[in-house]
A and B are shown apart, each in its own frame.
Chain A
Amino acid sequence: MVIMNKSKILSAETVVRLVFLMLGLVSVGCVLLITVYLVISGIPAIREIGLIDFIFGTEWASTAAEPSFGILPFILTSVYGTAGAIVLGVPVGFLTAVYLSKAAPAKVRRTVEPAIGLLAGIPSVVYGLTGMLIIVPAIRGIFDVPDGASLLAAIIVLAVMILPSVIKVSVTALDAVPKEYEDASLALGATPVETYFRVSVPAAKSGIAAAVVLGVGRAIGEAMAVMMVAGNVANMPTLFGSVRFLTTAVASEMAYSSGLQRQALFSVALVLFFFIMLINALLNLLLKRGKES
């Protein structure tokens, strides 16, 4: 009797385990499917255009009589745009995180943290719309340029969009610093501010680095908001010029594309995917190092 029960329990266990395994494999399967599909559909155009011409070509005219498919403007725009967003967004996010984790009264923290969560939950199209109706005209007025849709507008929007991930991850990392470190520093006569920046921040540095990389990932992958404020012309990037990102290149032309143009868009997506992979690898490396130390 007892033995029979045991085997019954075991089999139920196996079933449940199998179900969970299957569910776990769903996401792995999705990643594999996307990767394989993107590589298969992205390679033909690169082969036809030539890798060097594709990556380093400076002219994109996909529907011209003699089309050219150079994506260097997109790559540089994505890199500059992301770098700009990091330069603007990370200091603000980082200092906010230090304040929230270490200095802020509990009441302030209780108010600010949900607000940041809300900021993360705002759909990107709303960011884009706000940028289109407020930031773009503002840039036109302030800098006296004929049109405000530019790399700068995209950088500002992206800088706001990366704030939540930078702040949240940094706060988590700073909260995890053992209180003894800080107490020791304070006991030795350091001021609270000295303690935050000389003790807490260095102790949380891998977590903060991960926050920055996460911000990079968010910025480089954003399409919708950027499409509404950047102007979307395939120029080499200039701060007040109309620019097109890797993401918006795919998003804006995909609907009407055909033939080699469509294949080339898949190749652009493949390049973008490659960048994201690189960033993810970096993130994993940082997190791993954080755990080891």
Chain B
Amino acid sequence: MKKLTCVALAAVMAFGLLAGCGEQSPAASDGSKANSGLSGSVATDGSTSMEKVIGSLGEAFTAQNPGVNFTYNPTGSGSGITAVSEGRCDIGLSSRALKDGEKALGLAGTVLAYDGIAIVVNNGNPVAELSVEDIAKIFTAEITNWSEVGGNDAEIVLIGREAGSGTRDGFESITDTEDACKYRQELTSTGDVITTVSQNINAIGYASLAAVGDKVKALKVGGVAPSETTVKDGSYVVQRPFILVTKADAKLSGTAQAFFDYVTSSEAAEIISKAGAVSAA
């Protein structure tokens, strides 16, 4: 008798499960139909600095189009550009302008947003403002002591990023210090730079404006404090573009094109600014 009840119970439960499935699946497909007919996938690949921006854009896009599968592979600007030229993703993400060699491969870049690069020092450092020239002199070790720029009498410790990083490339090209920076440390992530600067009172480094919290102090450059407004109006000069990389001669898939149109529309501008960058639209 017990056995029979068991079997009956199991059967009921199994039926319930099946019934659940049967009811749910049409509902789900109805839901996606209600929003848009879009389905398929959008694959993006590239700059780790763009993670926040592209992540929130992807979230917003998939919220509107639940049938779309959005992926982002944080590999770095160089890898993203390679991936799009080899057809391994729909849209490549680069936090630096395309090089001539890359344009020659038939790639086109569209500016999605601008990112301010903040020059950060320890909270205990009395220096609050530097000119671009002074920053260049500091990073090329022409100025090696904080007292020369109005700070304490202590050696300046330069914290940078690794060769190939978009932030480093952006910083060095803006301050015209390419290949001339005499770093004391080359770290592999924005977070590491901020942690290191927050621990050493004599350190100076650079990081994406979006990533700077109150652990470190962002310096004014030429009298202008880094902020979304000053980056957008161009008065804060240490900034770089976030670029969507596509193949110039090949068309995007319908879904990828829809995503591309969405992120470059004014509708996406608010999401981009929430993520800490400044929309180009």
Contact = CB atoms under 8 A, between A and B. Distances in A.
A253 interface: yes
User: Which of B82, B188, B200 lies at the interface centre, i.e. has the most chain A CB atoms within 10 A of its CB?
Assistant: B188
Interface stretch (B114-122, B154-162, B253-261): B154-162
A231 B184 contact: yes
Contact of B179 (A61, A232, A255): A61
Nearest to A231: B185
B265 interface: no
Interface stretch (B30-38, B72-80, B206-214, B268-276): B72-80
A233 B183 contact: yes
B279 interface: no
B181 to A, nearest CB: 10
Nearest to A140: B200
A180 to B, nearest CB: 55
A144 B192 CA distance: 22
Given A137-B199, A252-B188, A147 B164 contact: no
A65 to B, nearest CB: 6
B200 A255 contact: no
Task: Give the interface residue-count category, chain B.
Answer: 20 to 34
Interface in B158-194: 162-166, 169, 178-179, 183-188, 192
Task: Give the interface residue-count category, chain A.
Answer: 20 to 34
Contacts of B169: 63
Given A61-B179, A63-B163, A132-B195, A257 B185 contact: no
Contacts of A232: 162, 185-188
B203 interface: yes
Contact of B200 (A62, A147, A244, A253): A147
Contacts of A252: 162, 186, 188
A62 B48 CA distance: 20
B44 interface: no
Nearest to B144: A146
A227 B188 contact: yes
A256 B79 contact: yes
Interface in A26-56: none
B227 interface: no
B246 interface: no
B239 interface: no
Given A63-B163, A147-B157, A147-B203, A255 B184 contact: no
B78 A147 contact: no
B185 A256 contact: no
User: Which of A62, A63, A227, A256 lies at the interface centre, i.e. has the most chain B CB atoms within 10 A of its CB?
Assistant: A256
Interface string A253-272: 10111100100000000000
Contacts of A64: 178-179
A141 to B, nearest CB: 11
A63 B170 CA distance: 13
Nearest to B156: A146
Given A64-B179, A233-B186, A255-B48, A146 B162 contact: no
Contact of B178 (A65, A242, A256): A65
Contacts of B164: 62-63, 253, 255-258, 261
B202 interface: yes
Contact of A255 (B79, B196, B203): B79
A228 interface: yes
Contacts of A61: 163, 179
User: Which of A64, A65, A253 lies at the interface centre, i.e. has the most chain B CB atoms within 10 A of its CB?
Assistant: A253
A147 B185 contact: yes
A283 interface: no
User: Which of A132, A227, A251, A258 lies at the interface centre, i.e. has the most chain B CB atoms within 10 A of its CB?
Assistant: A258
Interface in B96-140: none
User: Which of B164, B165, B196, B203 lies at the interface centre, i.e. has the most chain A CB atoms within 10 A of its CB?
Assistant: B164
Contacts of A132: 192, 195-196
B154 A255 contact: no
A268 to B, nearest CB: 13
Contacts of B157: 146-147
B155 A255 contact: no
Contacts of B196: 132, 149
B94 to A, nearest CB: 10
Interface of A: 61-65, 132-133, 136-137, 140, 146-147, 149, 227-228, 231-233, 242, 244, 251-253, 255-258, 261
28 contacts: A61-B179, A65-B179, A132-B192, A136-B199, A137-B200, A140-B200, A146-B154, A146-B202, A147-B157, A147-B184, A147-B200, A147-B202, A231-B184, A232-B162, A242-B185, A242-B186, A244-B186, A253-B162, A253-B163, A255-B48, A255-B76, A255-B79, A255-B188, A256-B76, A256-B79, A256-B162, A256-B164, A261-B164
Interface of B: 48, 75-79, 81-82, 154-157, 162-166, 169, 178-179, 183-188, 192, 195-196, 199-200, 202-203
Given A233-B186, A252-B162, 10 more contacts: A65-B178, A133-B199, A137-B200, A147-B184, A228-B192, A232-B185, A232-B186, A232-B187, A233-B185, A257-B78
